[in-house]
Amino acid sequence: MLFDNKRIDKMLIAMQSDLTNYLAEEQITSPVMVGIHSGGVLVARRLHETMEIEEPLGELNSGFYRDDFSSHGLKAQLKPSVMPLSVEGRHIILVDDVLYSGRTIRAAMNELFDYGRPASITLVVLIDRGNRELPIEAQVVGVKHVLEPAEYLQVTGPDQLEMSIIRREHN
């Protein structure tokens, strides 16, 4: 199954509307948006631009903070985090492409706290694929789509975002 650029654009427009409404309801002004490498940064860039958020976009690579780091090891593409602002007392919009077990989000929140203590964290994800291992829930979701255990999602970009559901081959 392919979520093509047009479908992703429609999802992003709906997410922007949902996020704007959520921020208004919570009376959050001047938020800081932070994307999680790598797919979350692609989604965050699009939302950051269309929502005209004034603060610079932050980028987290929470690889070192994962609780499964020792079993999975260091990935060759581990890019450094870029946090242009302090998060101390700020309202953070944390953006990722896929919410699955919750472990990436937990790791990203651990890293965020190394930069300061945020006033709040709002989680925004392009797709929630269910099957959580940790009690983490997104406030804004593009689409909920439960996948089979042998399936995973791949988000590509940056200019035209597309998302594919790929089935792992068993040897």
Q: What is the mean pLDDT of residues 79-87?
A: 85
pTM: 0.89
What's the mean pLDDT when you consider all of the chain? 88
The percentage of the chain sitting over the pLDDT mark of 90, rounded to a whole number, equals 61
Q: Which two tokens stand for residue 124?
A: 């925004």
Question: Is residue 57 predicted with pLDDT exceeding 50?
Answer: yes
Residue 14: partners with Cβ closer than 8 Å, 6 or more residues away: 142
122: which 2 tokens? 């709002």
Cα separation values, 125 from 42, 85, 96, 141, Å: 11, 22, 5, 5
Q: What is the mean pLDDT of residues 42-71?
A: 83
- Three-class SS of residue 48? helix
Domain layout of the chain by residue ranges: 2-69+82-167
Greatest distance between any 2 Cα atoms in the chain:
52
- On whether the 2-69+82-167 domain is CATH 2.60.40.10, my answer is no
Residue in the block written with tokens 């200019």 = 159
Q: In the structure, what pLDDT confidence band is assigned to residue 40 with cuts at 50, 70 and 90?
A: very high
How is residue 39 written in tokens?
């797919």
Q: Residue 61: what are its φ and ψ, rounded to 5°?
A: -120, 100
